[in-house]
Amino acid sequence: MPLYHNEDQAMLADTARGFIAEEGNIAKQLRHWRDRNCKDGFGHGLWKQMAEMGFTGMLVDESDGGLGMGHVEAGIVLEEIGRNLTPSPFLTSSVLAATALKHGTDDLKGRYLPGLIAGDSVFAVAIDETAKHRPSRITTRAEKSGNGFKLSGAKSFVIHGGSADMIVVAARTSGSDEDADGITLFAVPKDASGMSHDVVRLVDSSMATHTKFDAVELDGDAVIGEIDGGRAVLDAMLLAGRVGAAAEGVGVARGAMDMTVDYLKQRKQFGKLIGEFQALQHRASHLYSEVEIARAATIKAQQLLDGGSAHADLMASVAKAKVAKTARLAVQEGVQMHGGIGMTDEYDLGLYMKRDRALAEFLGDAYFHANRVAELSGY
Amino acid sequence: MADLDTFRSETRSWLEANCPAEMREPVRDESDIYWGGRRATFKNDAQKAWLEACVAKGYTVPAWPKAYGGAGLSPAEAKVLREEMGRIGARPPLSSFGIWMLGPALLHFGTEGQKQRFLNEIARGEIRWCQGYSEPGSGSDLVSLQTFGEDKGDHWVVNGQKVWTSYADHADWIFCLVRTDKADKYQGITFMLFDMASEGVATKPILLISGNSPFCETFFDNVAVPKSYGDDCPAYVGQINRGWDVAKYLLGHEREMISGADGGDRTAGIGAAMKRHSAKLGDELDPVLRAELAMFDVDALAYTAMGEKFLDEIKVGKAHPAQPNMMKYAGTELNKRRHELMMAVGGSRSLEWDSEETEGGKPSRTWLRTKANSIEGGTSEVMLNVIAKRILDLPGA
């Protein structure tokens, strides 16, 4: 498969670019909700519109009412979301939760997928337990209790946790904290008693929760996949989420880079456009080169994932790490090359810097994934 | 798709039948590479048999038309052939600047007569070419070159000096940028082809910091270059005084080649191999060095994807015409980093200059050689200039 978009994908990219630039732009969404101290941090109206565009259920199988598309297509939407810093539950709901639910029973799918596809429901995932992403260690426990389970523990960095209708929770049902086996994934409804959220606003104005589970009673049918065999579901979900986050990061990097290159063509100092200075030209050219490479790695990871390749996992970590490094470079160079105006709240560039920081942390930063590349490569 | 599958299985059996086992071993040193030419000798029978099989099949230049010694493969078929050769580790049967550089220029700008003659000679490995571009006073600012061809009616008399001429001392012919109009900087250069055995041509190898001499100084002292080699076969490519167009086109190919975009082990991650190497030396990777190797592998594997994307896009004309500059920049900087890390892993063993254990100082000599990667064929700084001007459209660039 060639490493560029085919005709259908190019058409989707055109549609997504136009729609998200129009409806999901910074003024209409990110600033609008931020400046109103919105408790959700995103607009439900846009989420509904995204459903009308067919985006929400793109990864859901056709037999389950979705579009049955792949991660290349989801990545196309995510890149535009990244470019416009559009706050939305797309990554947590349409990529992460949708991937987990592929492993769910028909009953679970019937309960949650229609709401996802219609843009009526929002989903979150609860994986991290400490301040760094470390899914190998899961201490939140679910004990057998009658026909169901009792869930106890705490999760952090649950994006959209406060506004989610259902949270996918990775919990331990057997074994010790570091064991690979003994994990089970649960679909925990928002009204489950014993669950409490400490809502926190993050640097990028997205809303996350520290969520506590105090003997939360769950029915047996809340289980996604196999009891004690949830690691496979969790890995599939993480893989999809990381590739998706990389695509969004490419959008963030490209957005910041485009703004910066434009600025170099407008701003004058010493009687010249600053883009005439070679010191800045070389930095912009280097940035362009890194962004192109990061994007290629991301599309490669998407294609490998869609093709079911055994190398998808390695390439996903390559892409996530490369994008994290590159988007970081893009926002840092962006602010520096803009000078003072890049430090102002009124100008959008700082918003890119904030978004990159949060997005890079989500599902593992560059250090986590570089280490993973080494481990998967055998050193 | 079915056709490609058929082609793949046919190619697989053809390679099985025709590629000798010795030609599936990794290239160990220069003598394992067959460059062709009037003075070439084969290292062994396998090298000869492999070349002859490929020449007969058109596989020394698989994507060139059959009429010019190629196999006329489509881009998709050529990719299949590359993959199948890669699968069994088959060496290229023939390497040459004729294949990589002059060939593409002739395919684009050449006359039918030039293609018939020169392309077929290149495809059969009969003539080894070298490239006469840089001069002592014209490196990054190549267009300022001074080597002059004085018009004598049916021939030119060429005087001047080239430098960094790769393997000029082994080459049969040269494709050479020669000033033919001193009044016009850009439209005063002719892309000439002539025999290195001509009277007045002299070469002198340059000893590099690696201890090797892959490059020469090349001197032209009243060299008579005929304007034509027969019917429809001029001694210049393109038009007289418009050689810069050809040179620019070719630089794209050269940058692509140096970038390592077409894969091979240059573009793969190295961490696992470095861990094994370290263990062999009785050491283990320092945690900080391991971390740097991991960060390097991220960049290297991402660049491999970029190389694949770049080649896919070139095939369908989707790549930005200045994209080879980006590939060259990123690929050569990466390669320098790779060898810095390899030297660090090798420790004091990698410092040895001519020991048997290091196959004659291969680690240190290769490490030193890579420092030229970001200079030859256009420096990294020139690449960044070109990206700024042609891709980012920055002012005054």
pLDDT in tens, A71-105: 999 999 999 999 999 999 999 999 999 999 999 99
* CATH number reported for the structural domain that contains residue B42 in this entry: 1.10.540
Q: How many CB atoms lie within 10 A of CB A307?
A: 11
pLDDT for residue B260: 65
Interface touch B309/A321, C-beta < 8 Å = no
Q: What is the pLDDT of residues B75-119, one digit of tens each?
A: 889 989 998 998 899 999 999 999 999 999 999 999 999 999 999
pLDDT for residue B257: 73
Burial of residue A48 (CB within 10 Å: 0-12, 13-18, 19+) is: middle
A203 lies in the same domain as A333: no
Phi then psi for residue A247, to 5 deg, are -60, -45
pLDDT for residue B344: 97
| pTM of this structure | 0.90
CB A59 within 8 A of CB A128: no
The reply to whether B396 falls in a domain is no
- The whole-chain average pLDDT of chain B stands at 93
Structural domain boundaries, residue A147 = 125-228
* CATH number reported for the structural domain that contains residue A150 in this entry: 2.40.110.10
pLDDT for residue A332: 98
Interface touch B297/A373, C-beta < 8 Å = yes
Distance between CA atoms of B217 and A261, rounded to whole angstroms?
42
Of the candidates A296, A318, A379, the beta carbon closest to that of B271 is on A379
The residues, ordered by sequence, that sit 6+ positions from B328 with a Cβ below 8 Å of its Cβ are: B255, B256, B258, B259, B377, B378, B383
Between the CA of residue B214 and those of B37, B169, B208, what are the distances in Å? 16, 9, 8
Distance between CA atoms of A209 and A169, rounded to whole angstroms?
13
**Residues in chain A where the model's pLDDT stays below 70:** none
Task: Indicate which residue of B77, B121, B135, B254 is catalytic.
Answer: B254
B237 lies in the same domain as B273: no
* CATH number reported for the structural domain that contains residue B327 in this entry: 1.20.140.10
Structural domain boundaries, residue B23 = 2-95
Interface touch B394/A321, C-beta < 8 Å = no
**Run of H or E including B165:** strand B155-166
Taking CB atoms and an 8 Å cutoff, what residues of chain B touch A294?
302
Taking CB atoms and an 8 Å cutoff, what residues of chain A touch B381?
282
* CATH number reported for the structural domain that contains residue A351 in this entry: 1.20.140.10
Mutate to test the interface with A, among B384, B389, B390, B391 (most CBs of A within 10 A): B384
pLDDT for residue B397: 58
Of B48, B76, B95, which residue sits at a domain end?
B95
**Run of H or E including A187:** strand A183-189
Residue range B37-64: mean pLDDT, rounded: 96
* CATH number reported for the structural domain that contains residue A26 in this entry: 1.10.540.10
A277 lies in the same domain as A191: no
Q: What is the pLDDT of residues B194-251, one digit of tens each?
A: 999 999 999 999 999 999 888 999 999 999 999 999 999 999 999 999 999 999 888 8
Q: What is the pLDDT of residues B61-83, one digit of tens each?
A: 999 999 999 999 998 899 899 98
pLDDT for residue B396: 85
The reply to whether B119 falls in a domain is no
Interface touch A282/B384, C-beta < 8 Å = yes
Q: Would residue B254 show up in a list of annotated catalytic residues for this protein?
A: yes
Q: pLDDT exceeding 70 applies to what percent of chain B?
A: 97
Distance between CA atoms of B111 and B88, rounded to whole angstroms?
38
The reply to whether B32 falls in a domain is yes
The reply to whether B112 falls in a domain is no
A131 lies in the same domain as A95: no
CB B166 within 8 A of CB B130: yes
Token pair 């082609």 in the structure block, residue: B7
Interface residues of chain A, partner chain B, Cβ below 8 Å: 2-4, 261, 264-265, 272-273, 275-276, 278, 281-282, 284-286, 288-290, 292-294, 296-297, 299-300, 314-315, 317-319, 321-322, 325, 366, 369-371, 373-374, 377-379
> Closest Cα to residue A101, out of A207, A225, A13?
A225
B231 lies in the same domain as B297: no
Phi then psi for residue A269, to 5 deg, are -145, 150
Distance between CA atoms of B311 and B309, rounded to whole angstroms?
6
Mutate to test the interface with A, among B387, B389, B390, B391 (most CBs of A within 10 A): B387
Q: How many CB pairs under 8 A join A and B?
A: 143
Of A73, A103, A121, which residue sits at a domain end?
A121
Of A121, A145, A166, which residue sits at a domain end?
A121
pLDDT for residue B261: 62
Q: What is the pLDDT of residues A230-289, one digit of tens each?
A: 999 999 999 999 999 999 999 999 999 999 999 999 999 999 999 999 999 999 999 999
Burial of residue B195 (CB within 10 Å: 0-12, 13-18, 19+) is: middle
A101 lies in the same domain as A40: yes
